[in-house]
Structure 1
């Protein structure tokens, strides 16, 4: 069977001076650091191309920060950006707010905190993993059509959907402590497929040099 790698790329840092959880809100764009992160990722993939292992298919979430992260890689590899709404950020009740202990203690939020394992404040982890894996399998098929055995694809998405997908692919429980996600800005969570089955997961940080001092807004 053909093996294909699908790289789940988290977007770069976003300009968010108010520190809100921006979720699916429009018009949140990359910061200057975020654009530099996107350039580093493009350089990473260009180096793969120069070594004969170029990704042949590029997909992005419809949100601005993901599209802007994808753009330098599209230019570097000469690829079109295909937009897939299935890899958008998770829905979240707290979208547009500064999430703090004081905010969480307000009674109007209590019904949304009833079940942190689902979670009750937003899209279920299982639903996120399901839609992301469906999109990844479609990206795998398209990459295989374009590049054959050993082909690669890139999906530019968001931290929580990527993390839920990784945990699902690794057979781990989906509920978790958000502070312990291994999915930094502009990182790659790479799924190796044999046909439609995930047979390997790896992680790398091509923009690691820019992480010190970067924003750490939860869920960003």
Structure 2
């Protein structure tokens, strides 16, 4: 038997004083508030009173740090999986508002459905599905927690819901340290719940692709 439920958990607030789009850049770890958020996310999953038998995270610093409270509460070491990493993006290291004011950058916006500024949504969805399925089948029972990033979690939600992957990044329902949960009845993913257990008022959340 595989897992019973899979939770996609977004990382907590990142220390990003210059408010750049950090993408896959190194050196962007959690802020103090971000560490509190990840603790709240882990405690929320604990309150579900469901056994967690596997923990997976992206290789980036902010997701590895966000997995630590789950390790403490459930006694699991996190497995690193490149398949749940943040997508690539040509605007990494820049402030988006300033970048979009530069006409030279408008060429990167020519095909928003792909999107033309980074890794294609279809590719993100495919690798997320592969990583989720691998984690799902890696256990005999219980729940799996995967700590990932906003865009991979959101396009996974869209794909499971049968919705187009093209979207406005400002309208994503994927808050810091949120938990989006799935099951797999009849061999197909089905979203069963979404929760925002962390206190995020006043958080800086401008670095997501």
On whether the aligned pair clears a TM of 0.5, the verdict is yes
Corresponding residue to 1:211 among 188, 196, 200: 200
Q: What is the CA-CA distance between 1:4 and the residue it aligns to? A: 2.2
Tell me, in whole angstroms, the C-alpha distance in 1 between the residues paired with 2:202 and 2:131: 32
When structure 1 is superposed on structure 2, of 36-45 and 163-172 the one drifting more is 36-45
Tell me, in whole angstroms, the C-alpha distance in 2 between the residues paired with 1:65 and 1:86: 16
8 A Cα contact 2:3 2:143, kept in partner: no
Q: What is the CA-CA distance between 1:199 and the residue it aligns to? A: 3.0
Tell me the secondary structure at the aligned position of residue 155 of structure 1: strand
Tell me, in whole angstroms, the C-alpha distance in 2 between the residues paired with 1:218 and 1:187: 16
Q: What is the CA-CA distance between 1:218 and the residue it aligns to? A: 5.2
Q: 1:144-179: per-residue Cα shift (whole Å, max 9, x none)?
A: x2x2xxx21010000001101110011000001111
Tell me, in whole angstroms, the C-alpha distance in 1 between the residues paired with 2:38 and 2:135: 21
> Which TM-score applies when normalising by structure 1?
0.90
Q: 1:2-40: per-residue Cα shift (whole Å, max 9, x none)?
A: 662110000000000000000000110100000001111
Corresponding residue to 1:159 among 138, 150, 158: 150
8 A Cα contact 1:188 1:204, kept in partner: yes
Tell me, in whole angstroms, the C-alpha distance in 2 between the residues paired with 1:174 and 1:164: 6
| Equivalence for 2:131 | 135
| Equivalence for 1:199 | 190
| Equivalence for 2:109 | 113
Gaps of 5+ in 2: none
Tell me the secondary structure at the aligned position of residue 68 of structure 2: helix
8 A Cα contact 2:178 2:196, kept in partner: yes
Q: What is the CA-CA distance between 1:47 and the residue it aligns to? A: 2.6
Q: 1:68-90: per-residue Cα shift (whole Å, max 9, x none)?
A: 00011111100011000110001
- After superposition, the Cα gap between the structure-2 partners of 1:218 and 1:28, relative to the gap in structure 1 and judged at 3 Å, is closer
Corresponding residue to 1:79 among 72, 76, 80: 76
Gaps of 5+ in 1: none
Superposition RMSD in Å: 1.6
Tell me, in whole angstroms, the C-alpha distance in 1 between the residues paired with 2:197 and 2:123: 28
Tell me the secondary structure at the aligned position of residue 56 of structure 1: strand
8 A Cα contact 2:57 2:81, kept in partner: yes
| Equivalence for 1:171 | 162
Moved over 3 A (4+): none
Q: How many residues align?
A: 209
